[in-house]
């Protein structure tokens, strides 16, 4: 997401920058935001004591649709 917003911004694994730049077109900012929203929903479900197995299955299925 950093590369999408700031192409020359700092990243933790600097040696991975070329590969990340190569992969970044497949992950536009809108898609990354949707993925993060789905993960946040899953976290909230876990905090609400929803069955972890159900949350994991649901999360995996929903991430494939983003």
Check residue 53 and give its pLDDT: 97
How far is residue 54's CA from residue 57's CA, in Å, rounded to a whole number? Answer: 5
- Find out whether 24 and 30 touch, Cβ atoms under 8 Å: no
Is pLDDT above 80 for 58? Answer: yes
Mean pLDDT of the chain: 87
58 with 42: CB under 8 angstroms?
yes
Q: Above 80 in pLDDT, residue 46? A: yes
Q: What angle do CA 10, 27, 58 make, to 5 degrees?
A: 115
Alpha-carbon span 60 to 41, nearest angstrom:
12
- How many other CB atoms are found less than 10 A from the CB of residue 8? 8
Residue 60 in this model has a pLDDT that exceeds 70: yes
Can you tell me the mean pLDDT for 50-62?
Answer: 95
């Amino acid at each position: 997401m950093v590369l999408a917003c700031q192409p020359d911004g700092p990243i933790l694994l600097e040696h991975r920058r070329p590969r990340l730049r190569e992969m970044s077109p497949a992950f536009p900012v809108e898609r990354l935001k949707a993925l993060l929203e789905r993960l946040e929903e899953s976290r909230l479900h876990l905090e609400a004591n929803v069955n972890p197995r159900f949350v994991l299955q649901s999360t995996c299925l929903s991430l494939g649709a983003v």
